[in-house]
Structure 1
């Protein structure tokens, strides 16, 4: 697979993990190491609120949010596009739509990935920037 295909597969797989991890019904079967192994050293996330989370804070946040929902959480990923690419790194953008307890939100994300033979999809997350979209229908 090329770098864009690996990054696309990683985005989809990681968000499937989130749905499983955050749901009380499926969280017991979700493997947290899958998330931990895909977060690269120096990983940083800029949340839609503008908060900056380093790798340690992000991993801790996800770990602490296990079992948050009771069958009322979903994520849909669409419009994955390459933005920039080199031999061992790629920037992609995508749209993430969530439904939490009946409330729909949407965010546009831009992510930097680097090749990693030890990461589940062959790439690791290095930087993620999410921005709220006007409505979930966008």
Structure 2
């Protein structure tokens, strides 16, 4: 007997899949095969992000326009790794998930902890929709040169 993935498992898959999408979208060598509608679709109406830089709140339409405008802006120099994905509060079809996102770009690594709020939505690729995201730096961005993982 097969059981369907839990809400947490679907949210975790969405976090990993969307960040793979970002790596493809932002890397000049991969962006031509990347379908922008995948990103637009999974951000629920009223989605907002709290940025790690200055705590600014960015609304759904602004973040969509920002991502769209930066297609292919890196030349193989952008990597994202997701780690430490943990379930938080959960209630009927709603879950908060935390995770650590490491990014390599412009020769340096940065790390941030994110808290994301998801709601169930059977029409989404992983059965969940992003509703809110809050990112916090775990460190100041590195200034030294570093090498991406092989």
Normalised-by-shorter TM-score class: over 0.9
Which structure has the bigger radius of gyration? 2
The yes-or-no answer on 1:99 pairing with 2:104 is yes
Distance 1:7 1:136 in 2: 27
Deviation at 1:136, TM superposition (A): 7.4
Does residue 121 of structure 2 align to residue 116 of structure 1?
yes
Q: What is the alpha-carbon distance in structure 2 between the residues aligned to residue 82 and residue 136 of structure 1? A: 26
SS at match of 2:63: helix
- Structure 1 contact 97–136 (Cα < 8 Å) conserved: no
Aligned residues: 137
Aligned-pair distance for 1:101?
2.0
Q: Look up the match of 1:82.
A: 87
CA contact (8 A) 1:37 1:120 kept: no
**2:133 alignment partner in structure 1:** 128
* Displaced runs of 4 or more, over 3 A: none
Matched residue, 1:46: 50
State the 1:135 CA deviation: 5.6
TM-score normalised per structure 2: 0.88
TM-score, length of structure 1 as denominator length: 0.96
2: CA distance, partners of 1:17 / 1:58:
15
Is there any run of 5+ residues in structure 1 with no aligned partner, and where? none
Return the offset for 1:118. 1.5
After superposition, the C-alpha distances for 1:67-96 in whole angstroms (9 at most, x for unaligned) are 110001000000000110012100000000
Structure 2 unmatched ranges of 5 or more: 143-150
Q: CA RMSD in A?
A: 1.3
